[in-house]
Chain A
């Protein structure tokens, strides 16, 4: 069984074109070269689609590390009926 963080990480791995084992909870636009504003949006959209959630503009701003993105997804999936 995969943890939610692993699922988020595998999506990030696809979007940013890096092997999953090179990504950690601290990965962010500062240390991932492909993580620019366009790819940030693609990453957010991929999360929204995969987990069937919608993130607010404020949350999109907040999701600046992989760990933070996973935490936001977790809050959303817990707070809305699946």
Chain B
């Protein structure tokens, strides 16, 4: 039931904040309003008011085209509202009802003119495969296979055609299974029933999608079953207004889209900062003691153990874990080291702040220690007061609204879109270990008085190679995620990287670094393109964990050498300042470039390849591969 009183007051506060120019306050209240009443009416209000905050709140823009075989209009305002609340400003192109095949096949269609970042293809089983849906009982078993192949073939054709016309991301809904198969319970007694046949189409779709860069499958059948088939569908609205989904679940469909659109638009958490008492375990260690806190395999500790398992899963996606807790550090460490119910150990955390300072200050320190922006942090705390403090003082932090009941903690975290990833690199899976070896490096560095001696001791090796099919995903990921040491902050998709590396006169390079403490993995990217006698550096970036150890010099020297070998006389590099890339500001100057021109904050630097040379440092063992193209 709506609580019109307080919600109406909130709306008035929001409108008066907007009118008086108080954008952060208005945005904070809009987030609060959406959390308290995430319904269709609120969605329309949030969309209209967030539209007025454009330019004042740093929303990430993203263009989404929705191709559909059903009425999807009512889901669109849910999508835009929840996206706004997460910091994403989504522009939507809605394809004509059931016109998706023409829109995909025609390169001049409104779809391509819209130049979407992401396209969603939402087609229902009953539209695409009426024989597998309604008329399954009439199908001869011998032709079921043909029907499956026909539907899979349609998907292949659309995806292939789409990729020929567009480099946008494509999200394809999988096919839904019926609540009641045609043969009833008999359907599950054979390997080839109706549900199994639809699943075969979905299997084929997953295989087809995996052949293409940037094509993803949305498990629509999984989504429907998660919420319950009988609740999800509204047969009357399907028959009258072609809307197959009940009013209560339109927001869930929009939310599922956002689990893809958050990572695709770059709204991702790189670290999750967690509280301890009543979050990772039940009770308060300082008061209840080791024997009193609740954590283990049985009720009630099992809910907290389920959350810990969730955090371990998330860490395997490359998201770092950190602790921010008001506690005595010894008490907390005692739990991590000695409580038999704990799944998480101190080695799982990349940073810890266990003290009595305020959490906003601690979060700032954690972001600095992990070398990431404050907007890359997600925050998990059972205490609403702490969450409010963080939201008010650090609006960029992604605060997870934990429900009161710990049984829902794990699923709440699993459902939070900024932890979603659409690609995992080896670097991601090993990130926790990478940070552990980084700590050893930092400790070793302190025992050397001379920096160069430390570099020699490190035995750094760098391997530079042109982009290859296996490295395209990581290269694209680095362009999307790197903010600090990034000269131009150009964001590229996998498809774009693959395409650029195939063009003549373009050089797409990546650098891999290892040393005596281990492998940093693929940590840097340089993209250069020839323009007559010049070579222009389009992109130059390094992951912050290797900055300042001459890796950047080695990569730049290689770019220069290769440009010279192709006959270029000048190497040009741009610096486009952002809020975050100050560490890269003096890079070209430090390497002997001269300022060629400056327009506003943008600088163009030039290096004479004929007269001058960039020397890679001696202590770096450099291997340059001239291998194949991606």
Contacts of B42 in A (CB 8 A): 14
Contacts of A11 in B (CB 8 A): 2, 40-41
The yes or no answer to A22 lying at the interface (CB within 8 A) is: no
Contact of B247 among A10, A15, A45 (CB under 8 A): A45
Contacts of A52 in B (CB 8 A): 1, 248
The yes or no answer to B45 lying at the interface (CB within 8 A) is: yes
Q: Which of A44, A46, A54 has the most CB of B within 10 A?
A: A46
In the assembly, what is the distance between CA of A42 and CA of B41, in Å?
A: 8
A: interface residue count bin: 20 to 34
In the assembly, what is the distance between CA of A10 and CA of B11, in Å?
A: 11
The yes or no answer to B73 lying at the interface (CB within 8 A) is: yes
In the assembly, what is the distance between CA of A20 and CA of B5, in Å?
A: 13
Contacts of A51 in B (CB 8 A): 1
Flag if B41 contacts A46 (CB, 8 Å). Answer: yes
Contacts of B74 in A (CB 8 A): 41-42, 45
In the assembly, what is the distance between CA of A48 and CA of B239, in Å?
A: 17
How many whole Å from B112's CB to the nearest CB in chain A? 24
In the assembly, what is the distance between CA of A2 and CA of B40, in Å?
A: 20
Cβ proximity bits A24-45 to B, threshold 8 Å, 1 near / 0 not: 0000000000000010011011
Contacts of B40 in A (CB 8 A): 11, 14-15, 42, 45-46, 49
In the assembly, what is the distance between CA of A29 and CA of B250, in Å?
A: 24
The yes or no answer to A60 lying at the interface (CB within 8 A) is: yes
The yes or no answer to B558 lying at the interface (CB within 8 A) is: no
Flag if B243 contacts A50 (CB, 8 Å). Answer: no
Interface residues in B1-30 by Cβ distance below 8 A to A read 1-2, 4-5, 7-8
Contacts of B236 in A (CB 8 A): 54, 56-57
Interface residues in B246-266 by Cβ distance below 8 A to A read 246-248, 250
In the assembly, what is the distance between CA of A49 and CA of B241, in Å?
A: 17
Flag if A7 contacts B2 (CB, 8 Å). Answer: yes
Contacts of A41 in B (CB 8 A): 71, 73-74, 241, 243
Q: Which of B77, B241, B247, B250 has the most CB of A within 10 A?
A: B247
The yes or no answer to B48 lying at the interface (CB within 8 A) is: yes
- The secondary-structure label for the interface of chain B is helix
Flag if B240 contacts A38 (CB, 8 Å). Answer: no
- With contacts A6-B4, A42-B74 known, is A50 near B41, CB below 8 A? yes
Flag if A49 contacts B4 (CB, 8 Å). Answer: no
How many whole Å from A4's CB to the nearest CB in chain B? 10
Flag if B4 contacts A42 (CB, 8 Å). Answer: no
The yes or no answer to B312 lying at the interface (CB within 8 A) is: no
- With contacts A41-B73, A42-B73, A45-B247 known, is A50 near B2, CB below 8 A? yes
Contacts of B44 in A (CB 8 A): 14-15, 17, 42
Flag if B45 contacts A14 (CB, 8 Å). Answer: yes
In the assembly, what is the distance between CA of A6 and CA of B237, in Å?
A: 26
Contacts of B437 in A (CB 8 A): none
Nearest-CB residue, chain B, relative to A1 = B5
In the assembly, what is the distance between CA of A12 and CA of B73, in Å?
A: 17
Contact of B1 among A13, A14, A44, A50 (CB under 8 A): A50
The yes or no answer to B234 lying at the interface (CB within 8 A) is: yes
In the assembly, what is the distance between CA of A41 and CA of B41, in Å?
A: 12
Contact of B2 among A10, A42, A45, A60 (CB under 8 A): A10
The yes or no answer to B39 lying at the interface (CB within 8 A) is: yes
Contacts of B241 in A (CB 8 A): 41, 57, 60
Flag if A2 contacts B247 (CB, 8 Å). Answer: no
Flag if A14 contacts B240 (CB, 8 Å). Answer: no
Contacts of A10 in B (CB 8 A): 2, 4, 7-8, 41
Nearest-CB residue, chain A, relative to B239 = A57
How many whole Å from A19's CB to the nearest CB in chain B? 9
Nearest-CB residue, chain A, relative to B241 = A41
How many whole Å from A18's CB to the nearest CB in chain B? 11
Cβ proximity bits B34-47 to A, threshold 8 Å, 1 near / 0 not: 00000111111100
Contacts of B239 in A (CB 8 A): 57
- With contacts A10-B41, A11-B41, A42-B40 known, is A48 near B247, CB below 8 A? yes
Contact of A7 among B4, B45, B71, B73 (CB under 8 A): B4
How many whole Å from A77's CB to the nearest CB in chain B? 10
Flag if B73 contacts A14 (CB, 8 Å). Answer: no
Flag if B4 contacts A45 (CB, 8 Å). Answer: no
Flag if A2 contacts B240 (CB, 8 Å). Answer: no
Flag if A17 contacts B41 (CB, 8 Å). Answer: no
- With contacts A42-B73, A42-B74, A56-B236 known, is A14 near B41, CB below 8 A? yes
Contacts of A7 in B (CB 8 A): 2, 4
In the assembly, what is the distance between CA of A6 and CA of B246, in Å?
A: 24
In the assembly, what is the distance between CA of A57 and CA of B41, in Å?
A: 21
Contacts of B4 in A (CB 8 A): 2, 6-7, 10
Flag if B71 contacts A49 (CB, 8 Å). Answer: no
Flag if A2 contacts B5 (CB, 8 Å). Answer: yes
In the assembly, what is the distance between CA of A24 and CA of B619, in Å?
A: 79
Contacts of A48 in B (CB 8 A): 246-248
In the assembly, what is the distance between CA of A2 and CA of B113, in Å?
A: 47
Contact of A49 among B5, B237, B247 (CB under 8 A): B247
In the assembly, what is the distance between CA of A51 and CA of B4, in Å?
A: 12
Nearest-CB residue, chain B, relative to A11 = B41
- With contacts A7-B2, A45-B247, A50-B1 known, is A15 near B71, CB below 8 A? no
Interface residues in B578-630 by Cβ distance below 8 A to A read none
Contacts of A2 in B (CB 8 A): 4-5
Flag if B48 contacts A17 (CB, 8 Å). Answer: yes
Flag if A54 contacts B234 (CB, 8 Å). Answer: yes
How many whole Å from A76's CB to the nearest CB in chain B? 13
In the assembly, what is the distance between CA of A9 and CA of B236, in Å?
A: 25
How many whole Å from B404's CB to the nearest CB in chain A? 22
Contact of A46 among B7, B39, B73 (CB under 8 A): B39
In the assembly, what is the distance between CA of A13 and CA of B45, in Å?
A: 9
Nearest-CB residue, chain A, relative to B237 = A57
In the assembly, what is the distance between CA of A5 and CA of B240, in Å?
A: 27
Query: What are 5 sample pairs from A and B whose C-beta atoms fall under 8 A apart?
Result: A13-B41, A46-B39, A50-B1, A50-B39, A57-B240
Please name 10 further chain A to chain B contacts, defined as beta carbons within 8 Å, in addition to the given A50-B2, A50-B41, A54-B234, sorted by A numbering: A6-B4, A13-B41, A14-B44, A17-B44, A41-B243, A42-B77, A48-B247, A49-B39, A57-B236, A60-B240
Binding site for B on A (CB under 8 A): 2, 6-7, 10-11, 13-15, 17, 20, 38, 41-42, 44-46, 48-52, 54, 56-57, 60
- 9 residue pairs, one from A and one from B, having the closest CB atoms: A46-B40, A14-B41, A48-B247, A45-B247, A57-B240, A11-B41, A14-B45, A49-B247, A2-B4
